[in-house]
Amino acid sequence: MARCDVAQMAGLSWDWDSIDAAWKKEGRWPECAAGNSAMTIRPLQGASILVVGAGIMGAGIAQLAARAGHRMQLFDARAGEAQQAVRKLGATLDALVAKGKLTAEAAEITLGCIEPLAALEELRDDTRLVIEAIVEDLDAKRALFQQLEALLAADCVLATNTSSISVTAIANGLEHPGRLVGMHFFNPVAQMKLVEVVSGLHTDASVAAAIFDLSCAWGKTPVHARSTPGFIVNRIARPFYAETLALLLEQAATPQVLDACLRAAGFRMGPCELMDLIGHDTNFAVTLSVYKAHFFDKRFAPSPVQHEMVDGGLLGRKSGRGFYRYQSDGSGLPPLPVAVHEAPSTAGEVTVHGVGVIADFLDLAATRALAQQGWGPARVHDSGWTGLAIDGARLVLSDGRCAAELAAELDSQDIAVFDRLLAVPTSTGTALAFAVAPAASPAWRTQAAAWLAALGFAPLRLADAPGLVVARTVAMLINEAADAVQQGVCTPDSADAAMKLGVNYPAGPFEWLSGWSVAGVIAVLDALDAYYRGERYRASPWLHRRNQAAR
């Protein structure tokens, strides 16, 4: 059955060819013709705007729009809340003036743009955009928009700042559902560049386009997303936490070690310190909502580790204790673990194996380390693995399999695996996870760490878990991004931009993929899948298709 026939049976009349074309050209989910004719929306730059909800996000959005010169109204269901938000904004602007970052005149004009509203009925007749930032509750949001529809012109755009509720569901029941779109800002609104422009099944393409353009005019970087659980950022980011929680659950490493490894890979914060900052209650709630919305797909399953922390009130920084203990001044992160630095014992034969930047770096580092002893390593390019052979023992770049599996395959116990490098280290002392085969000789256990130190790393030993830390986390982030693209949530470019701007990742998942290989990522996922058995590590069809095409 053709795709359009299926859509028509479902009461929808999608033109799949134009959907494909729109995605390729604009990265956008085009309008669906389910009783929803295309709208013509005038550009929203300069429009009068109403923001509903004067909490953290609503106040931030009102400030942003007022700074851009819009005439703003701000309403909150709690009496006095909108006035209070405007007063706070006045204090924020005064502080900027005092620091010389804003002129007193600009501050006065900005503040003069915002009018607190006592009742929704007092909204301006020429309001052309409403941005909702009320409580995260479907019924409350639906009721608000239905109430607003009775007060607004038919072409007024309705935007919701929801971070987790289906935009399609919020629009359901509206007289003009095509005008409702997600406009998902990140906290703090003034600083975070990303806006996810989220289209539900009803959303008119011209409405999404108008919000996209307005976000650009406000100095943000918008990305189009389809309304699916977690949208782009909150979905793709799940494995960053989940893989660390899985390693903690099986006692493979401590929070300190896991954080150090991922920070060394370029992440601004490790998952444990980040979960402590977000709050385990909040992070658990988001995880649970994405898990439920995916009908309990095991890939998104929350961890008993975080559940127990929530139950125990160990919520992170806000409660003074999470994975770490915090002082009242916010300090409290323990220092990085200190690396073992021993010179490698004299080896008779060292060979660097593999091709590519990591192998080249190992060659350079081993040459440097052995130069003190007056000789250098040999090099073999076509052995099919990357790492060092040292007198018959092997130090192997992780391909997802644990050291014990490699030892069994090679029928040799002196095997160690080390974690994936996302970039060639530019300084010595970069934390790097490694694991040694359980039956390795005591001498090799010491030497594996000493060799990594001699190559310039700060080696951190883990239990022999497949994919170590960085390899499995990044492979899973790529996999989730690939699935999001496969399911039409976003384009690869949008996924990269969203992860860099929404959660400050050092690179986007598809940028990591271009420095790795599709086959290499699938190998790590397959190794995890074979080891743990279950649906969690299944590789995305997007990756499989690219891998087949590359053959």
* Helix count and strand count (H, E) for the chain: 22, 15
> Does 419 participate in binding ligand NAD (rule CB under 6 A)?
no
Annotation says 196 is catalytic: yes
Q: Contact letters (x/-) for ligand NAD, 250-269, by CB under 6 A?
A: --------------------
Cα 82 to its chain centre, rounded Å, is: 32
Q: Which of 161, 199, 215, 234 is catalytic?
A: 234
- Are 201 and 216 a contacting pair, CB within 8 Å? no
Residue 380 token pair: 């073999």
Helices 470-486, 541-550: crossing angle, 10 deg rounding: 90
Pairing state between β 457-461 and 430-436? parallel
Q: How far apart are CA 223 and CA 227, in angstroms?
A: 12
Q: Contact letters (x/-) for ligand NAD, 378-407, by CB under 6 A?
A: ------------------------------
Cα dist. 210→38, 47, 124, 148, 467 in Å? 13, 11, 20, 20, 44
* Closest to ligand NAD by CB, 185 or 457: 185
CB of 289 to ligand NAD, least distance (A): 10
DSSP 507: S
Annotation says 234 is catalytic: yes
CB of 56 to ligand NAD, least distance (A): 4
Q: How far apart are CA 417 and CA 401, in angstroms?
A: 9
Q: How far apart are CA 262 and CA 270, in angstroms?
A: 6
CB of 59 to ligand NAD, least distance (A): 8
- List the one residue out of 433, 386, 439 whose CA is nearest residue 412: 439
Q: How far apart are CA 431 and CA 530, in angstroms?
A: 28
Q: Which of 161, 163, 166, 479 is catalytic?
A: 163
Stretch that binds ligand NAD, among 13-21, 48-56, 330-338, 515-523 (CB under 6 A): 48-56
From the list 92, 110, 161, 447, which residue makes contact with ligand NAD (rule: CB under 6 A)?
A: 161
Q: Contact letters (x/-) for ligand NAD, 98-137, by CB under 6 A?
A: -----------------------------------xxxx-
Residues in the chain: 551
Q: Contact letters (x/-) for ligand NAD, 171-200, by CB under 6 A?
A: --------------xxx-------------
Q: How far apart are CA 147 and CA 278, in angstroms?
A: 33
> Does 456 participate in binding ligand NAD (rule CB under 6 A)?
no
From the list 14, 28, 39, 58, which residue makes contact with ligand NAD (rule: CB under 6 A)?
A: 58
From the list 3, 42, 78, 268, which residue makes contact with ligand NAD (rule: CB under 6 A)?
A: 78
From the list 57, 207, 485, 498, which residue makes contact with ligand NAD (rule: CB under 6 A)?
A: 57
* Closest to ligand NAD by CB, 122 or 250: 122
Cα dist. 105→92, 93, 97 in Å? 14, 11, 9
Alpha helices, DSSP H, located in 10-55 = 16-26
Active site residues: 163, 184, 196, 234
Q: Please give the residue ranges that form the binding site for ligand NAD (CB under 6 A).
A: 52-58, 76-78, 81, 133-136, 140, 144, 161-163, 185-187
